[in-house]
Structure 1
């Protein structure tokens, strides 16, 4: 009997300090730190199972891989995989769920505290010698507001949204959940998308990226928010119109933004956020909100469990 071949296309997305558990069955294993688009088909010709975090597997690629039986996504989001094609070709797809419910909310709260208290602006002032020149024991150049008592509007009520709500409540924030954009009727416990934007001091996004949610926050939405409000995006880059966000920060439409995800990753100087990273009210991190060591170890454990379940004929964390 031929051993199943498993290919990990972007192994470098899991740090080497994290233990990748052994699979409980005999198999052939091949891994690559990174895989360019033009290398995907060649590397998967003999694969029964592919592991990918962000490498794109679209219909054109999948059509060339008749032996492929499973795609194990090493992340929660699966917008890099053509789900309809997988259904058509009988390819099982799994993702990782619930692994970062500590890490992501902590990162979001850290960004909220940093932006509400303008830590980056004050750090920049000291670096520029402004405090030193004014010879005051304290130096107020940016507004400072409390987190406790402010209102957090959450877009996306899955595991991460709920965990963020719980942590926010523990530091005294009031929490609102948004109904889906454009819905006339609100489910119990939700308020309309538009009302949430108008009422929130901080808006944080925890929803998937798809055709309905792309640029969920654009110029119109930013203009409808409080001028003192903050936007946090640790979901997916395409949820926010990046150029509109930069304009809103420059013109005082909103007070600040914390961004962990970008439309194209890694982002370079052509990205409007990177080009304006000097702004004191813009805080950027390189898609690491999910990445505490404990969260990544959880991810690795679930990833291997998903593959083991598939081989055993069990459905576990199945998207398809």
Structure 2
């Protein structure tokens, strides 16, 4: 007989999380108000909101597990005030996102879209007018050298790229570190963004920074949509300072149309680079493991509010 009820907010694969949660847990994929009222755990997808109203409707809640690392839609302070840890899954999608960066970099550097158009439209004779570039020997500039940024750097080495990294929160190793962001931007053939979105980093990539961009470079954002100013980015494309832009993240989401999206040298994906089949399985497993840890009295591997237990103790 089950001892605990854990609910899903958004689509969560029950066959994946069930064995991790264990036989003593009933997992509910589409909870009713009554089931929510007795739930001790919740596995929450990135687009679902956990606010004060939700917490009131789940008075027995002991743990919230967010698939991914972003907690923009979770009232972390309210959860902490009730002694509820907000589990995150930082390791599950890192490799998938890093692969996505290189998918975009290759697409844009190798000029796949215009070359496809040449073949499709019978314009073979014009192929020399669309020269493909190289990653081998190029410089990759990584802004934000956390888990994903480090993995991007590892893949860059396999392509024969030189890597520079800038991180205002955690300095990269000396062999990669570039203390000045403008200097990094000016030296990079491919620039990729992986720093957290804060008040200080919102529109980090703006008109002023893009003025330092190495002409013909590629800009990729698989971090947070608010890191770049879309109007300034479009202007840099139109002027030729940027030769291509890859975007997997937007501000806001779901995205509202912007003229940047219509430019032929822009490739767009709807925030799915960390949602590959393998990555989703791993994030569900990590989220379920975090819930199981709390229900069993263990410390979860990663939380967004590391002081959650102290808040509870002082309440």
SS in 2 for 1:140: helix
* Aligned counterpart, 2:27: 29
* Aligned counterpart, 1:103: 96
Give deviations 1:196-252, integer Å, cap 9, x for gaps: 111111111122223332222222222221121111111222222223222322232
Structure 2: runs of 5+ lacking an equivalent? 306-315
What is the TM-score of this pair, normalised by structure 1? 0.83
Count, aligned residues: 300
- Partners of 2:36 and 2:57 within 8 A in 1: no
* Aligned counterpart, 1:50: 42
State the shift of 1:141 in Å: 3.2
How well do the aligned residues superpose, as a CA RMSD in angstroms?
2.9
1:2-13 correspondence runs (5 A): 3-11=3-11
1:297 to 2:295 alignment? no
Give deviations 1:141-189, integer Å, cap 9, x for gaps: 33422111111011111111111101111110000110318x9x99745
Q: Distance in 2 between matches of 1:87 and 1:19?
A: 28
Q: Distance in 1 between matches of 2:296 and 2:235?
A: 52
Structure 1: runs of 5+ lacking an equivalent? none
- Partners of 1:232 and 1:257 within 8 A in 2: yes
Query: Which of 156, 177, 190 in structure 2 is aligned with 1:190?
Result: 177
Higher relative contact order (CA 8 A, sep 6+): 2
1:158 to 2:139 alignment? no
SS in 2 for 1:152: strand
* Aligned counterpart, 2:312: none
- Partners of 1:120 and 1:283 within 8 A in 2: no
SS in 2 for 1:198: helix
Give deviations 1:115-154, integer Å, cap 9, x for gaps: 1111112223444x3615xxx2x52333422111111011
* Aligned counterpart, 2:219: 231
Q: Distance in 2 between matches of 1:318 and 1:277?
A: 35
What is the TM-score of this pair, normalised by structure 2? 0.84
1:279-290 correspondence runs (5 A): 279-290=263-274
Q: Distance in 1 between matches of 2:35 and 2:18?
A: 23
- Partners of 2:9 and 2:43 within 8 A in 1: yes
* Aligned counterpart, 1:147: 135
Give deviations 1:78-124, integer Å, cap 9, x for gaps: 22222222222211111002123332222211211111111112223
* Aligned counterpart, 1:266: 254
